[in-house]
């Protein structure tokens, strides 16, 4: 097991290096000047030259890459051209917000997708199944931005049930930053009011972002369960006189959970990076917005930083999913 | 399984029904503004250069002199209780007498703090340092303290003291508590790393905290001489999307929304449930026409033809829903030196005649560089470009739209590679020279240069107008310059946009001036 993990981590480093090289080459291939983007329309020639010198943009590409990699090995992602902050500081600030939103989305996706899938499989061909499949189709086909605007308009503006954009009520100050996850930080200082407020703010964007995943999970759960339910051992279990619920929960779901887990793993990775639109519409101060602003302003080091962190998160989640296989299925062992 | 679903549903429901009652009490004294503050990089007045930076630092720091409200032509005392301008053998001298004011730290504001703040901005070589070094021609040592309450600015002949006074109203003129800045200095940065997200000024507010991309929270400064009647806290919430601002202002979550789209703004204004304000700006949206040798706009008659061909009224009423003013010369309405004359009434036939006279009777084809995203006044750049393209097509000019991100467009424009470009410009300080020099003097290597347009008369006029201290003579020089630019220049001015602001009915005193500044201490909430 340990050897397997070490091998996977080594592979991960190699993949991340590839990602960084690709990101570096792509971002530097653009026919635009980051100095002009950072200093704006009114900047003068001397300012631009000074900026390029200060940030090493006047060096040859190979030298820039070499310098970047040397710093990277030391764990330094460099400084943002736009904010002039260390990238690591920026990421530490924006990543927790995205993580919190993503976790919320995953929770909603599981809470909606798995039960719906089970219901659909058990009522195959009948009305509940049809409804669940319609949901799966709609949920998978509805654009996130449209859903986000609709949700805001209905549940926030018209009905007033849920709060609007942002992570907290506009009138309350956020808790002191410890983890960066507002819900956790509120619990740490024992502020129940802010905790509830933060949780309520998570509902709409979490649901919107989780909708696509919920739809996919519904479909995956349904088909995985249907396949398992037709197996011989299920028939045996039923023949032994076990109740239908017990068979599904104890026997069928355990075996159907592997494909669901796989989907969940990849979903988590894509959610983390795919939060851009949800974050923009819900004014969620996460990494999605940071990545967009950085890309528009040709902030290469920031874009590279986001890419690397996204790649890292994706790889780590995938590794965890693979390791969980062994937990769920005793037949799988990594040796 | 069923049990856990039920539990989750109950939890979700109870969460949605819980109200945030505790926050009600602070609502009266807290002002929440929603807007696109994504350009906020630093709150250090010596470094900040962007719109949002100016908006915030203007409330954290005091400048020596300032403009009050919408009057951007009369200087008012702020930290300086009085000032005098006297000619000297080397140029001129401005002597400021300071009022009794205190920083938020409790320390008195002294002449030494002013000297420190100016030298600091010069030494830091920030994006706005050029205002002191290039425009005001100041060096370290040019500004001195003769006693604790007197500051002297010695200005060389090459700079105009009136322009120096105008640029002192900008962020860079903010006076910093020098003891506080020195206490937080690291690696000779004059405290700029610390001042990025802390405040040490004498303005009506102090910085509580800045959560990047989320919000900026300001608290009232009890030491300030400018005070708000009942606002204790101002929160600037990042809401990039106009739709988010609309839903937040409709639900009462925010008091002020700063970035409505023209269409949505028109609807709100018609509904009359919320207050609306069309705030002026000094922004000019224009077409840049490359006039270098061999370029399609080399002939002045072609440039004139374009100006006749553009349907400005159609753009303002159709695309901007009235959120813009018609102007045709290089100095925006509202600054002394601007020219209200309409040189080019919409006339496609006249345009065709001019093209014919220039030997391009069959029209021609040109690449048209357009930014992605939103243009001045909140109009999608693509929509504006489509309208321009249609207008030009009517006189036989085929504009091939090339859309690119703004940074890419700017790079091409800076390299003189844009044949026809759709952009905007706003002056760095509220003075005609903020547009006069960059738009008409080729030697300034700014906009005239980018469009390959060189005219010795224009350069000379811009330069003499910049240093002319006699107000009447100066206006006359700008009159000549604007007329020359309208006739021969490389620009077709499209419009001067207004900023759409939506305000809750219980909020009064919110006013954004053409510089984009808002005096938060003048706002009150019922």
- Judge whether B19 lies within some domain: no
Do B224 and B131 fall into the same domain? Answer: no
Q: Please state the rounded mean pLDDT for residues A35-57.
A: 82
pLDDT the model gives residue B405: 84
**Partner residue opposite A200 with nearest CB, options B16, B215, B254:** B16
Mean pLDDT of chain A: 86
Say if residues A282 and A165 touch (Cβ distance below 8 Å).
yes
Question: What strand order describes the sheet that includes B499-503?
Answer: B205-211, B215-220, B233-238, B30-35, B256-257, B499-503, B275-279
- Judge whether A87 lies within some domain: no
Do B296 and B392 fall into the same domain? Answer: yes
- Judge whether B142 lies within some domain: yes
Instruction: Copy the structure tokens of residue B417.
Output: 């590679």
Domain that holds residue A220: 95-328
Do B349 and B312 fall into the same domain? Answer: yes
pLDDT at residue A266 tops 90: no
Q: How far is A171 from chain B (nearest CA, A)?
A: 6
- Judge whether A334 lies within some domain: no
Task: Please say which residue of A73, A106, A130 terminates a domain.
Answer: A73
Q: Give percent of chain A above pLDDT 90.
A: 23
Q: How far is A53 from chain B (nearest CA, A)?
A: 13
Taking the CA atoms of chain B, what radius of gyration do you get in angstroms? 25
- Judge whether A84 lies within some domain: no
Do A156 and A59 fall into the same domain? Answer: no
Do A156 and A49 fall into the same domain? Answer: no
Question: What residues contact A235, with CB distance under 8 A and at least 6 apart?
Answer: none
Return the residue of B nearest to A176 by Cα.
B209
CB count, 10 Å around CB of B133? 16
CB count, 10 Å around CB of A324? 17
Do B446 and B312 fall into the same domain? Answer: yes
Do A65 and A186 fall into the same domain? Answer: no
State the complex-level ipTM: 0.82
Do A175 and A321 fall into the same domain? Answer: yes
pLDDT the model gives residue B96: 98
Give the residue from A98, A147, A173, A290 with the most B CB atoms within 10 Å of its CB, the best one to mutate. A173
**Partner residue opposite A161 with nearest CB, options B16, B38, B130:** B16
Decide if B239 touches A, using CB distance below 8 A: yes
pLDDT at residue A69 tops 60: yes
- Judge whether A151 lies within some domain: yes
Q: Please state the rounded mean pLDDT for residues A68-88.
A: 88
Output the furthest CA–CA distance in chain B (Å, rounded). 91
Domain that holds residue B262: 30-42+204-278+500-525
CATH number assigned to the domain comprising residue B109? 3.90.76.10
Q: How far is B16 from chain A (nearest CA, A)?
A: 6
CATH number assigned to the domain comprising residue B233? 3.40.190.10
Strands B256-257 and B30-35, bridge-based pairing: parallel
- Judge whether B189 lies within some domain: no
Do A233 and A280 fall into the same domain? Answer: yes
Q: How far is A31 from chain B (nearest CA, A)?
A: 6
SS3 assignment, position A322: helix
Does the distance separating the beta carbons of A170 and B253 come in below 8 Å? yes
Does the distance separating the beta carbons of B446 and A40 come in below 8 Å? no
**Partner residue opposite A296 with nearest CB, options B125, B241, B405:** B405
pLDDT the model gives residue B12: 47
Give the residue from B135, B248, B376 with the most A CB atoms within 10 Å of its CB, the best one to mutate. B248
Tell the burial category of A62 from Cβ atoms under 10 Å away from its Cβ (0-12, 13-18, 19+). exposed
Q: How does pLDDT run across A270-320, given as a tens digit for each residue?
A: 777 678 888 888 889 998 888 888 888 888 889 889 888 888 888 888 888
Question: What residues contact B165, with CB distance under 8 A and at least 6 apart?
Answer: B65, B75, B83, B85, B94
Do B381 and B441 fall into the same domain? Answer: yes
Q: How far is A313 from chain B (nearest CA, A)?
A: 22
Q: How does pLDDT run across B393-415, given as a tens digit for each residue?
A: 999 999 999 999 888 898 899 88
Do B371 and B244 fall into the same domain? Answer: no
Strand partners for B43: none
Do B465 and B317 fall into the same domain? Answer: yes
CATH number assigned to the domain comprising residue B322? 3.10.105.10
Does the distance separating the beta carbons of B127 and A39 come in below 8 Å? yes
Cβ-Cβ pairs closer than 8 A, A with B, add up to 158
- Judge whether B188 lies within some domain: no
- Judge whether B54 lies within some domain: no
Instruction: Copy the structure tokens of residue A94.
Output: 């924006």
Residues in A closer than 8 angstroms to B42, CB to CB, are 84
Do A62 and A126 fall into the same domain? Answer: no
Does the distance separating the beta carbons of A283 and B244 come in below 8 Å? yes
Instruction: Copy the structure tokens of residue B319.
Output: 């695309």
- Judge whether B3 lies within some domain: no
- Judge whether B12 lies within some domain: no
Does the distance separating the beta carbons of A43 and B127 come in below 8 Å? yes
- Judge whether B442 lies within some domain: yes
Task: Please say which residue of A38, A73, A108 terminates a domain.
Answer: A73
The DSSP-derived string for B461-503 is HHHHHHH---HHHHHHHHHHHHHHHHHH-SEEEEEEE-EEEEE
Do A141 and A239 fall into the same domain? Answer: yes
Do B171 and B229 fall into the same domain? Answer: no
Which residues in chain B (7-46) have CB-CB distances under 8 A to chain A? 8, 12, 15-16, 18, 20, 22-23, 26-27, 30, 32, 38, 41-42
pLDDT the model gives residue B18: 43
Task: Please say which residue of B123, B147, B181 terminates a domain.
Answer: B181
What angle is formed at CA A334 by the lines to CA A331 and CA A335, rounded to 5 degrees? Answer: 115
Decide if B403 touches A, using CB distance below 8 A: no
CB count, 10 Å around CB of B266? 17
Give the model's confidence band at A335: pLDDT under 50 very low, under 70 low, under 90 confident, else very high.
low
SS3 assignment, position B378: helix
> How many domains, chain A?
2
Does the distance separating the beta carbons of B407 and A298 come in below 8 Å? yes
Do A112 and A188 fall into the same domain? Answer: yes
- Judge whether A6 lies within some domain: yes
Do B436 and B454 fall into the same domain? Answer: yes
pLDDT the model gives residue B21: 41
Give the model's confidence band at A260: pLDDT under 50 very low, under 70 low, under 90 confident, else very high.
confident
Average pLDDT, 10 consecutive residues per value, chain B (526 residues): 49 45 66 92 91 94 94 92 95 96 96 97 88 93 96 95 94 96 94 95 96 93 91 93 88 92 91 93 96 94 97 96 95 93 96 96 95 89 97 97 89 92 91 94 93 97 94 95 96 96 96 93 93
Do B304 and B324 fall into the same domain? Answer: yes
Residues in B closer than 8 angstroms to A249, CB to CB, are 1
Does the distance separating the beta carbons of B18 and A203 come in below 8 Å? no
Do B439 and B308 fall into the same domain? Answer: yes
Do B248 and B127 fall into the same domain? Answer: no
Q: How does pLDDT run across A14-27, given as a tens digit for each residue?
A: 988 998 888 888 87
pLDDT the model gives residue B22: 42
Q: Classify residue B264 by its DSSP letter.
A: H
- Judge whether A102 lies within some domain: yes
Does the distance separating the beta carbons of B254 and A93 come in below 8 Å? no
Q: Please state the rounded mean pLDDT for residues A148-167.
A: 88
Q: Round to whole Å and give the CA distance between B286 and B340.
A: 16
Q: How far is A200 from chain B (nearest CA, A)?
A: 6
> How many domains, chain B?
3
Is the sign of the CA dihedral B188, B189, B193, B197 positive or negative? Answer: positive
CATH number assigned to the domain comprising residue A161? 1.10.3720.10
CB count, 10 Å around CB of A61? 11
pLDDT the model gives residue B7: 52
Do A270 and A318 fall into the same domain? Answer: yes
Which residues in chain B (322-361) have CB-CB distances under 8 A to chain A? none
Closest to B451 (Cα-Cα) out of B461, B440, B466: B440
Give the residue from A152, A156, A170, A303 with the most B CB atoms within 10 Å of its CB, the best one to mutate. A170
Q: Round to whole Å and give the CA distance between A179 and A97.
A: 10
**Partner residue opposite B407 with nearest CB, options A32, A171, A174:** A32
pLDDT the model gives residue B23: 45
């Amino acid at each position: 097991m340990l050897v397997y993990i070490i091998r996977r981590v080594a592979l991960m480093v190699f993949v991340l290096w590839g990602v960084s090289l690709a990101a570096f080459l792509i971002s530097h291939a653009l026919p635009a000047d980051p100095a002009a983007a950072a200093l704006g329309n009114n900047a003068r020639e001397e300012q631009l030259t000074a900026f390029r010198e200060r940030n090493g943009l006047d060096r040859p590409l190979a030298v820039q890459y070499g310098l970047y990699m040397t710093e990277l090995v030391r764990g330094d992602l460099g400084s943002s051209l736009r904010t002039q902050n260390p990238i690591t500081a920026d990421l530490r600030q924006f990543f927790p917000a995205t993580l919190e939103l993503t976790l919320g989305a995953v929770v909603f996706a599981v809470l909606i997708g798995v039960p719906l899938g089970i219901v659909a499989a058990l009522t195959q061909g009948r009305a509940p199944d049809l409804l669940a499949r319609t949901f799966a189709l709609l949920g998978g086909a509805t654009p996130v931005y449209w859903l986000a605007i609709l949700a805001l308009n209905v549940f926030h503006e018209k009905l007033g049930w849920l709060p609007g954009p942002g992570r907290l009520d506009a009138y309350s100050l956020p808790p002191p930053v410890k983890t960066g996850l507002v819900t956790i930080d509120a619990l740490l200082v024992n502020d129940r009011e802010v905790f509830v407020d933060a949780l309520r703010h998570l509902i709409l964007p979490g649901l919107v972002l989780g909708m696509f995943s919920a739809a996919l999970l519904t479909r995956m759960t349904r088909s995985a369960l249907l396949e398992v339910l037709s197996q011989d051992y299920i028939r045996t279990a039923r023949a032994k006189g076990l109740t239908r619920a017990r068979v599904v929960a104890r026997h069928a779901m355990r075996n159907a959970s592997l494909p669901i887990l796989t989907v969940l793993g990849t979903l988590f990775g894509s959610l983390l990076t795919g939060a851009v639109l949800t974050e923009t519409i819900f004014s969620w101060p996460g990494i999605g917005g940071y990545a967009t602003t950085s890309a528009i302003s040709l902030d290469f080091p920031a874009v590279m930083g986001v890419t690397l962190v996204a790649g890292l998160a994706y790889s780590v989640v995938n590794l965890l999913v693979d390791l969980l296989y062994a937990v769920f299925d005793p037949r799988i062992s990594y040796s | 399984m069923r049990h856990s679903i039920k539990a989750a549903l109950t939890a979700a429901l109870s969460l949605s029904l819980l109200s945030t009652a505790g926050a009600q009490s602070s609502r009266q004294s807290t002002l929440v503004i929603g807007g696109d503050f994504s350009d906020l990089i630093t709150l250090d007045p010596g470094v900040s250069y962007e719109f949002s930076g100016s908006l915030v630092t203007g409330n954290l720091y005091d400048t020596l002199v300032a403009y009050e409200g919408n009057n951007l032509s009369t200087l008012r005392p702020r930290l300086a209780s009085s000032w005098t301008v006297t000619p000297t053998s080397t140029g001129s001298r401005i002597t400021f007498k300071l009022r009794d004011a205190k920083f938020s730290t409790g320390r008195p504001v002294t002449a030494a703090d002013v000297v420190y703040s100016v030298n600091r901005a010069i030494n830091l070589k920030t994006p706005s340092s050029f205002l002191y070094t290039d425009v005001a021609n100041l060096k370290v040592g040019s500004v001195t303290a003769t006693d604790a309450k007197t500051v002297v600015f010695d200005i060389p002949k090459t700079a105009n003291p009136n322009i120096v006074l105008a640029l002192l109203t900008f962020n860079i003129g903010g006076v910093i508590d020098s003891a506080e800045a020195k206490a937080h200095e690291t690696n000779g940065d004059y405290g700029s790393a610390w001042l990025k997200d802390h405040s040490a000024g004498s303005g009506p507010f102090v910085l509580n905290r800045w959560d990047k991309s989320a919000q900026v929270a300001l608290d009232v400064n009890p030491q300030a001489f400018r005070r708000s009647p009942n606002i204790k806290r101002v929160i600037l919430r990042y809401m990039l999307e106009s739709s988010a601002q609309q839903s937040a202002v409709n639900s009462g979550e925010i008091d002020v929304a700063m970035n409505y789209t023209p269409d949505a703004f028109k609807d709100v204004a018609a509904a009359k449930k919320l207050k609306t304000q069309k705030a002026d700006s000094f922004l000019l949206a224009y077409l840049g026409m490359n006039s270098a040798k061999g370029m399609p706009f080399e002939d002045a008659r072609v440039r004139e033809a374009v100006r006749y061909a553009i349907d400005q009224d159609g753009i303002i009423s159709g695309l901007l829903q009235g959120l813009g003013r018609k102007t045709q010369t290089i100095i925006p309405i509202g600054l002394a030196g601007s020219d209200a004359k309409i040189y080019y009434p919409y006339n496609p036939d006249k345009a065709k005649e001019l093209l014919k006279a220039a030997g391009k009777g069959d029209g021609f084809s040109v690449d048209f560089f357009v930014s992605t995203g939103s243009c001045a006044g909140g109009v999608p750049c693509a929509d504006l470009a489509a309208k321009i393209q249609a207008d030009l097509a009517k006189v036989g000019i085929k504009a091939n739209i090339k859309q690119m991100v703004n940074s890419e467009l700017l790079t091409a424009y800076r390299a003189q590679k844009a044949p026809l470009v759709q952009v905007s410009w706003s002056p760095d300080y509220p003075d005609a020279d903020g547009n006069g020099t960059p738009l008409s003097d080729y030697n300034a290597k700014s906009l005239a240069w980018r469009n390959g347009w060189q005219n010795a008369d224009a350069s000379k006029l811009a330069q003499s107008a910049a240093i002319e201290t006699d107000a009447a003579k100066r206006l006359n020089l700008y009159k000549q310059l604007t007329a020359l630019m309208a006739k021969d220049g490389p620009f077709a001015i499209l419009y001067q946009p207004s900023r759409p602001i939506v305000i809750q009915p219980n909020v009064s005193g919110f006013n954004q001036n053409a510089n984009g500044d808002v005096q938060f201490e003048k706002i009150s909430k019922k």
